[in-house]
Chain A
Amino acid sequence: MAQAITDKDGVKRYLITLNVNGDAHTLLVKGNAILTNVLREQLDLTGTKKGCELGDCGSCTVLLDGKPVDSCLVLAIEADGREITTIEGVMENGRLDAIQESMINHAAVQCGYCTPGMVLSAKALLTRNPNPSEQEVREAISGNLCRCTGYVHIVEAVMATAQGRLTPDDH
């Protein structure tokens, strides 16, 4: 259990360490602070979006020890000491990840608000299953609501990534 500190008004805060995108951050958080807010407000990692705060929309998706979770349903203290990947940590050495490149080339991005969550859910899928069926892709992103695309180009982009075709023929 994380060390607790109580302020003069009796409010307890916990000293936690979040390993975010390979960086360790030591933070003081309230017991009820959700991971989304700590990432956004304390670490300025605003690529993790807030859409509903109820675990319905998936725009706050991050990878917790490699698994996609709605960060609005995770307390920051639950993530103490664990590995977190946010959308800001997907690029490596200044290069876009294959799924990111494919999403751009397939026009799978419109307003972009669901995109970070979509990228992370898709990336988690492709890591555990490099050759998913279309149904598996749809299931993997079914917790990420998109109001713009009807998912058509998103599914296409994920399938194409698995098949190593980052650029569509009509490009």
Chain B
Amino acid sequence: MSDNHKVIGRSVPRIDGPEKVTGAAKYTGDLKFPNMLYGKILTSPHAHARILSIDTSAAERLPGVKAVITHKDVPTLKYGLSPARWDESIFCSDKVRFVGDKVAAVACLDEDTCYRALKLIKVEYEVLPAALDFLHAMDEGQPQVHEEYARNINTEIHQEFGDVEKALAEAHHVRTDTFVGQRTYQSPIEPHSAISMWDGEKLTIYSSTQSPHYFQHYIAREFDMPMGDVRIIKPYLGGGFGGKLEPTGLEFAGAVLAKLTGRPVRTFYDRAEMFAHNRGRHAQYMEITTGVDKDGKILAAKANFIMDGGAYTSLGIASAYYAGALLPLTYEFDNYQFDMFRVYTNLPACGAQRGHGAPQPKYAFESHLDNVAADLGIDPMDIRIINARRPNTVTPNDFRVNSCKIKECLERVRVMSGWDEKKKNLPHGRGIGVATGSFVTGAGYPIYRTDLPHAAAFIKVCEDGTAATLYTGSVDIGQGSDTVLCQMAAEAMGYRYEQMKIVAADTEITPLDFGAYASRQTYMSGAAVKQAGEEVKRQILDMASSMLGLPADDLDCGDGMIFSKSRGGKSLTFEEVARKHFVLRGPLLGRGSYTPPKLGGSFKGAAVGTSPAYSFGAQVGEVAIDEETGEISVVGIWDVHDCGKVINPRLLHGQVHGALYMGMGEAVWEEVLFDDKGRIKNAELANYRLLTAVDMPPITSEVVDSYEPSGPWGVKEVGEGATNPTLGMFSNAIFDAMGVRVNSLPLSYEKVWRALKEKREREEAAQREQDARREAQGRRADAQRETDPALPPLYANPA
């Protein structure tokens, strides 16, 4: 673990900073091509309806309309992101399954004409009863969302590890709590768009995607084309958070419209359409049971969940498995049972949102653990430290954990937040809560089955050595991967960050990479980049060896200078050696790729949640509650993360801030609301409450010194992990402040107010009961005294 790194570990400015602050950065929706048309999709106004007829003739006659397409004009092959359940069609043919389901599309000369054309498409529907309540979607007699999936069951999971019943029977204390999580939406600020164009048989799509590779794979499959004829380019991307991971109607419909018209077509969603496409966090019912010994050590845990999948699978099978798979990470216990139903409803599909599957179960588990601690009279911080996972352990569901400093995170956040002092001294109405989180550093297995490497990279050094270009399929969605990977490339090459260039996320130019999801790129793309950089460095040292007449293994290269390790003396610049290499030996190139080792157990679903490394973190939050209104003011939040070696500290803390911000929104303010017809009531950013700058409390983010032995330079996850503790941390802080537990998300002011009101009413009722009892007792005592005047006055007259 050498610390004489020249490039990594420094907060270098982002490589894309100047373009982004000047407005020069082009996002997909900013691009224009000659002869380009505008395309829009017609969606269903009903949650569940049979399509009786579609008449496009009036739309086709409107001047400026260049093409109108329905299910008759597109491939019928079903698609999706989870190969086990391909259940989406480019356009609905028989029935629509949610408000927003895709029915037809138009390509027009301008945007205004698109809207007029959409209004002229006549769709006759027979409205069907809809399944809108996920808790009853499995009941007998409920409307069937997909005929082939009985009782609306999309995914069913039953896993048991160890002997849960035995451990619960032997436990000192067993407790069960139930919680409900709400549907949230990623809400990236950039709306989705795609520009599709054909050149003969070759299809090019510029897209706001988190994974050009998966888009390329699924689009080639849908149109029965060789992957090599599909080119996906990701321009700058304005945030994704999981919501831009899968192909949408924009790409599929856009490609068909472009083919029919022979012109580039830009298709795009507006804000309401983004909400309708959704793929946000599943609403979820969660029942948690644990058994603990008298010290609070967890002996066994049971998780029994139901998830609202919406109308399609999206990445939801993985979400369902993740919900249970990641629970046993932060605390050590051997006995674990996980049962889950993911059900179909006539609502927009849910998928992967930051912290994929983990934040709501973590909310449930962390709230539950505080309840257990309260039952036993143990400090919430202590019960977590007692149960904290140790490094080099294996979870009951067969995840190998190498580095793990969850205990150190808890100990550090305890000090930073002033936990012990505040726990003693905070007045009623003020409270402090703690929770932990953990997340994968990239998924151990790809989304579809393939033996391809997960990441690859090239480095091309300019012929005169004054620049080097990194070619990577990885995707900067804002998290800063372009910057971090250039730092890693420069470090491995012995070069300078300032001279790095990058070409990323263009399937025709850049080598394969699965993209931005599961917090994988610094580790996995980084491993490929490191290998490519080291290959460049080997060639540089070999060339320098012949130029200097010294053995190559005596030479090293750092910060763009080649020098002898043993004798000092004459050094060469990277530029002169690279130039000489090009002249004598040809182009100076480096290549790298990364494939994870075989991971995980052999039970059904064992692959989901596997990862070569896991991050850990602990958060403390302090809140003040207004008892009259239930309003929650956040006094401060402290986060300590175990994320391995840090490549760029400022970017890293930016990830923590952002993940925590998203978790904070989900904890108290954000929720996608539906009316009784399945229509979204708040598909805009004023009533879907994204937090503003004035809503944010002071945030202190720190890391513990950590090194992941399996990762390049010891790196692991950071981008999503800090979302996982936040919801539970809020729940626990409110509990500490007021002594009430809100058992459903979001922990809104209204729910806090209601919980306080109920508590007050309970207390008042108890008081009345007690008074009545005392009065009755008093009457009995009076009666008694009359018969037994010797009774002492204390009993006769209770205070």
Closest CB in chain B relative to A25 CB, distance in Å: 17
- Asked if B699 lies at the interface with its beta carbon under 8 angstroms from chain A, I say yes
User: What are the interface flags for A141-162 relative to B under an 8 Å C-beta threshold, 1 for contact and 0 otherwise?
Assistant: 1111111111111110000000
Within 8 Å CB of A45, what residues of B? 23
Q: Is A112 a contact of B11 with CB atoms below 8 Å?
A: no
User: What are the interface flags for B15-50 relative to A under an 8 Å C-beta threshold, 1 for contact and 0 otherwise?
Assistant: 011111111111101101000000000000000000
- Asked if A52 lies at the interface with its beta carbon under 8 angstroms from chain B, I say yes
List the count of A-B residue pairs having beta carbons below 8 Å apart: 182
Q: Is A151 a contact of B22 with CB atoms below 8 Å?
A: no
Q: Is B650 a contact of A153 with CB atoms below 8 Å?
A: yes
Whole-angstrom CA separation of A46 from B28 in the bound complex: 11
Q: Give the size of the chain B interface in residues (CB under 8 angstroms).
A: 55
Whole-angstrom CA separation of A49 from B190 in the bound complex: 8
- Asked if B423 lies at the interface with its beta carbon under 8 angstroms from chain A, I say no
Within 8 Å CB of B16, what residues of A? 109, 112
Residue of A nearest to B664 (CB): A150
Q: Is A111 a contact of B699 with CB atoms below 8 Å?
A: no
- Asked if B694 lies at the interface with its beta carbon under 8 angstroms from chain A, I say yes
- Asked if B685 lies at the interface with its beta carbon under 8 angstroms from chain A, I say yes
Contact of A113 with B190 at beta-carbon distance under 8 Å, contacts A50-B29, A152-B696 already known: yes
User: What are the interface flags for A66-105 relative to B under an 8 Å C-beta threshold, 1 for contact and 0 otherwise?
Assistant: 0000000000000000000011101100001000100111
Within 8 Å CB of B30, what residues of A? 40, 46
Residue of B nearest to A55 (CB): B686
Whole-angstrom CA separation of A141 from B30 in the bound complex: 24
Q: Is A145 a contact of B690 with CB atoms below 8 Å?
A: yes
Residue of B nearest to A171 (CB): B11
Q: Is B24 a contact of A49 with CB atoms below 8 Å?
A: no
- Asked if A114 lies at the interface with its beta carbon under 8 angstroms from chain B, I say yes
- Asked if A57 lies at the interface with its beta carbon under 8 angstroms from chain B, I say yes
Residue of A nearest to B271 (CB): A52
Q: Is B236 a contact of A149 with CB atoms below 8 Å?
A: no
- Asked if A24 lies at the interface with its beta carbon under 8 angstroms from chain B, I say no
Candidates B21, B239, B480, B696; contact of A119 at CB < 8 Å: B21
Q: Is A47 a contact of B27 with CB atoms below 8 Å?
A: no
Binds A, one of B196-204, B623-631, B652-660, B778-786: B652-660
Whole-angstrom CA separation of A144 from B186 in the bound complex: 17
Whole-angstrom CA separation of A11 from B18 in the bound complex: 42
Q: Is A111 a contact of B239 with CB atoms below 8 Å?
A: yes
Q: Give the size of the chain A interface in residues (CB under 8 angstroms).
A: 58
Q: Is B21 a contact of A149 with CB atoms below 8 Å?
A: no
Q: Is B699 a contact of A44 with CB atoms below 8 Å?
A: no
Q: Is A109 a contact of B693 with CB atoms below 8 Å?
A: no
- Asked if A110 lies at the interface with its beta carbon under 8 angstroms from chain B, I say yes
Within 8 Å CB of A53, what residues of B? 270-271
Within 8 Å CB of B21, what residues of A? 87, 96, 100, 103-104, 109, 112, 115-116, 119
Candidates B18, B662, B664, B690; contact of A104 at CB < 8 Å: B18
Within 8 Å CB of B236, what residues of A? 111-112
- Asked if B127 lies at the interface with its beta carbon under 8 angstroms from chain A, I say no
Within 8 Å CB of A87, what residues of B? 21-23
Q: Is B693 a contact of A111 with CB atoms below 8 Å?
A: no
Contact of A48 with B23 at beta-carbon distance under 8 Å, contacts A106-B650, A112-B238, A148-B478 already known: yes
Within 8 Å CB of B662, what residues of A? 147
Contact of A142 with B693 at beta-carbon distance under 8 Å, contacts A47-B22, A49-B27, A148-B478 already known: yes
Q: Is B271 a contact of A110 with CB atoms below 8 Å?
A: no
Closest CB in chain B relative to A150 CB, distance in Å: 3
Q: Is A88 a contact of B22 with CB atoms below 8 Å?
A: yes
Within 8 Å CB of A155, what residues of B? 693
Which residues from 122 to 165 on chain B have a C-beta closer than 8 Å to any C-beta of chain A? none
Q: Identify whether the interface residues of A are mostly helix, strand, loop, or mixed.
A: loop
Candidates B186, B188, B237, B686; contact of A56 at CB < 8 Å: B686
Within 8 Å CB of B14, what residues of A? 104, 107, 109
Closest CB in chain B relative to A54 CB, distance in Å: 6
- Asked if A51 lies at the interface with its beta carbon under 8 angstroms from chain B, I say yes
Whole-angstrom CA separation of A45 from B189 in the bound complex: 18
Within 8 Å CB of A49, what residues of B? 27, 189-190, 238
Which residues from 598 to 618 on chain B have a C-beta closer than 8 Å to any C-beta of chain A? none
Closest CB in chain B relative to A86 CB, distance in Å: 7
Q: Is B654 a contact of A110 with CB atoms below 8 Å?
A: yes
Whole-angstrom CA separation of A86 from B30 in the bound complex: 15
Closest CB in chain A relative to B264 CB, distance in Å: 15
Within 8 Å CB of B696, what residues of A? 138, 150-152
Residue of A nearest to B649 (CB): A170
- Asked if B371 lies at the interface with its beta carbon under 8 angstroms from chain A, I say no
Residue of B nearest to A103 (CB): B21
Within 8 Å CB of A147, what residues of B? 186-189, 239, 241, 658, 661-662, 690
Within 8 Å CB of A110, what residues of B? 239, 478-480, 654, 658
Contact of A111 with B13 at beta-carbon distance under 8 Å, contacts A48-B23, A142-B693, A151-B696 already known: no
Q: Is B18 a contact of A96 with CB atoms below 8 Å?
A: yes
- Asked if A17 lies at the interface with its beta carbon under 8 angstroms from chain B, I say no
Within 8 Å CB of A138, what residues of B? 692-694, 696
Whole-angstrom CA separation of A155 from B271 in the bound complex: 26
Q: Is B684 a contact of A56 with CB atoms below 8 Å?
A: yes
Within 8 Å CB of B690, what residues of A? 145, 147
Residue of A nearest to B477 (CB): A111
Closest CB in chain B relative to A24 CB, distance in Å: 20
Closest CB in chain A relative to B644 CB, distance in Å: 19
Q: Is B660 a contact of A100 with CB atoms below 8 Å?
A: no
Closest CB in chain B relative to A171 CB, distance in Å: 6
Contact of A145 with B22 at beta-carbon distance under 8 Å, contacts A56-B686, A105-B13, A113-B238 already known: no
| Interface-centre pick from B479, B658, B664, B686 (highest chain A CB count, 10 A) | B658
Apart from A50-B191, A54-B685, A168-B650, what are 14 other A-B pairs with CB-CB below 8 Å? A51-B271, A52-B685, A59-B189, A104-B14, A104-B21, A107-B480, A111-B477, A113-B188, A113-B239, A144-B693, A150-B660, A151-B693, A152-B654, A152-B696
Q: What are 15 contact pairs spanning A and B, CB under 8 A? A: A49-B27, A49-B189, A59-B189, A103-B21, A104-B13, A111-B188, A111-B189, A112-B21, A112-B478, A116-B21, A147-B661, A148-B479, A152-B653, A153-B654, A153-B657
B residues neighboring A (CB under 8 Å): 11, 13-14, 16-27, 29-30, 32, 186-191, 236-239, 241, 270-271, 477-480, 649-651, 653-654, 657-658, 660-662, 664, 684-686, 690, 692-694, 696, 699
9 pairs of A and B residues whose beta carbons are closest in the complex? A47-B23, A111-B478, A113-B238, A112-B20, A150-B661, A87-B23, A104-B17, A150-B657, A46-B30
